[in-house]
Amino acid sequence: MNKNVFTYLLKSKKILVVFLFIMNLALMLTPYISSMRTGNYYVSWIIGYVFMFGTCYILPPYLLRFIQSKNATDSYFSLPVSRRELLNTNLLFSALVSYCPFLVGAVISGIIGLAGGHIEITELFRILFCGLLTVAVLTLVNSLFFSFANTLFDGMVMIAAYTAMPLMIYIVLGVFFETHVAGMSYWSSLLDGVRYLSPAFLCGNIVGGGSKRIVYYIVLAVYAVIAYVLLSREVVDRKAERAEQISDHFFAYPFVIYFYAFAILCMITFFWGNRNFISFFKDSIIYYILLLFIFTVANFVYRRKIRFEPKTFVFFAISIILSLLVGLAANKTQGFGLSRMYDHNPKSVSYVYNGPLSKEDCEELEIKSEYVSVFVELQIPERLMNEPQYSEAMKIMENSREKAIEDYYTKSDQDRTNTGYLSIRDNFTGEGNYVHYDDSGQYGYTVYEPLSIDQLRVLSKITQVSIYTDDKELILP
């Protein structure tokens, strides 16, 4: 920290500082205008938190923009101040301007909440800590993203691109799970890990966060340290002549453009990858052309001119080939083996089956209705897992699951007629109306071969098997 730099920032930015302070404080106290309820403290905190969150995206580029302007670098880098001190002081100033209004507002609201007996003082300290952590992480991380670029505009693009990157990863993986991993969906708990890639998401969730709160704190602290180390290197070792040049740093446009291009290509492959090549090519060519257009525009934004370089198109073609190879590998390996990554020896298991009956089975039961649907709900708690009847039922359901996984990778959409659905949840606790399911261990399968009447009869010994027709509900005896 450099006292002179801090004094100068304070003197030269006093209007901004006062404006942000008054704005945030006024917004935080807004809930008390409509009603002076002591319980308004939480709304006030959230308003302040959101405002502070926003300033962490605006202030770092505003204060660090001197590294990206030719004449500003002449002034700032020739000052009798080391670059590290210059950086540290600007970061500290940015963090304080973001945090202090929130601190004051949160303390006022907290005191009102405490007076009303709504909260304990530890809760107030916790929210203040969360605010401090959020400001520290977002200021450092956004400054780092900004420093990759060589102009103010590019810096803002980098902040937006890197902030949205975890969301992009989530979407691509979600599409992959939905289309290439039998039993798992867009909302699979395996995707929960992606949230740790997003400092912004974690910062937005540490106020709540529940049991994962401590993990969030640790991950965010790690982000802050990494961001500071990299940012210091970027600014201290920065070549001043980079200012106002094209942002050709590896982690600027070159990485961002190819990351998004490859992510979208993978998404296209995953969407269409279960078809034969001719059909796939016919359906997806329009998306490739559209993406090539977007890719060209992105390169124009990067280089400030349209340049048709063979190298660019070769890289684009290589990206397409790579994405197709990823899609092919995902298909051949049954979702990179993820479709088999369920608990093969669960302590307890719950099955919900909903499917049709074969013509022969309908005739055997003398059902003449056009619409026939079988519904079975089977819960096998831990204490019954080894009972012979339950073991046998479980075997039927697990065989159905295995068949469903195989069919998922071999059958096409055209085969998707008269199919059923099998939902499985592992390792629940409790029984009856008090069953508690964990977030993980939830699977859903399309069943191409419905359960036979013989199998249903085995199940009916331990649970109710309902058969719905056009006009009535039958219980399988």
Separation CA 185–CA 177 (nearest Å): 5
Q: Is 8 in the site for another protein (CB under 8 A)?
A: yes
Q: Do 304 and 246 contact (CB within 8 A), yes or no?
A: yes
Q: Near another protein by CB under 8 A, which window of 235-243, 297-305, 313-321, 347-355?
A: 235-243
Binding test (CB under 8 A) with another protein, winner from 69, 334, 358, 452: 69
- Between 46 and 72, CB nearer to another protein: 72
Q: Is 382 in the site for another protein (CB under 8 A)?
A: no
- Between 17 and 108, CB nearer to another protein: 17
Amino acid 83 reads R
Counting other chains too, the contacts that 244-248 makes at CB distance below 8 Å and 24 or more residues apart are 244/68, 244/69, 244/70, 244/150, 244/151, 245/150, 246/150, 246/302, 246/303, 246/304, 247/148, 247/149, 247/150, 247/151, 247/154, 247/158, 247/302, 248/150, 248/302
- Between 77 and 258, CB nearer to another protein: 77
- The least distance separating another protein from the CB of residue 237, rounded to whole angstroms, comes to 8
Q: Do 469 and 369 contact (CB within 8 A), yes or no?
A: yes
Q: Is 436 in the site for another protein (CB under 8 A)?
A: no
Separation CA 215–CA 205 (nearest Å): 11
Binding test (CB under 8 A) with another protein, winner from 21, 32, 77, 375: 77
Binding test (CB under 8 A) with another protein, winner from 19, 23, 54, 70: 70
Q: Do 104 and 156 contact (CB within 8 A), yes or no?
A: no
- The least distance separating another protein from the CB of residue 99, rounded to whole angstroms, comes to 24
> Can you spell out the DSSP letters for 358-374?
-HHHHHHTT---S--EE
Q: Is 250 in the site for another protein (CB under 8 A)?
A: no
DSSP strand pairing (349-355 vs 373-380): antiparallel
Q: Do 352 and 372 contact (CB within 8 A), yes or no?
A: no
Q: Is 432 in the site for another protein (CB under 8 A)?
A: no
Question: For residue 378, what are the β-bridge partners?
Answer: 351
Q: Is 344 in the site for another protein (CB under 8 A)?
A: no
Q: Is 389 in the site for another protein (CB under 8 A)?
A: no
Separation CA 151–CA 86 (nearest Å): 19
Binding test (CB under 8 A) with another protein, winner from 1, 30, 74, 333: 74
Q: What Å distances lie between residue 439 and 183, 219, 244, 428, CA to CA?
A: 15, 21, 49, 10
Tracing tokens 């005896």 back to the chain, one arrives at: 477
Binding string to another protein for residues 24 to 63, with x set by CB under 8 A, is what? ----------------------------------------
Q: Is 233 in the site for another protein (CB under 8 A)?
A: no
Binding test (CB under 8 A) with another protein, winner from 17, 46, 79, 169: 79
Q: Near another protein by CB under 8 A, which window of 32-40, 137-145, 238-246, 338-346?
A: 238-246
- The least distance separating another protein from the CB of residue 207, rounded to whole angstroms, comes to 36
Q: Is 7 in the site for another protein (CB under 8 A)?
A: yes
- Between 80 and 310, CB nearer to another protein: 80
Q: Is 18 in the site for another protein (CB under 8 A)?
A: no
The answer for residues whose C-beta is within 8 angstroms of residue 324's C-beta and 6 or more apart is 269
- Between 75 and 389, CB nearer to another protein: 75
3-state secondary structure 196-226: HHCHHHHHHHCCCCHHHHHHHHHHHHHHHHH
- Interaction residues for another protein, span 81-110 (CB under 8 A): 81-82, 85
Site size for another protein (CB under 8 A): 22
Q: Is 332 in the site for another protein (CB under 8 A)?
A: no
Q: Is 4 in the site for another protein (CB under 8 A)?
A: yes
Token output for 367:
């059902």
Which positions touch another protein (CB under 8 A)? 4, 7-8, 11-12, 69-75, 77-82, 85, 239-241
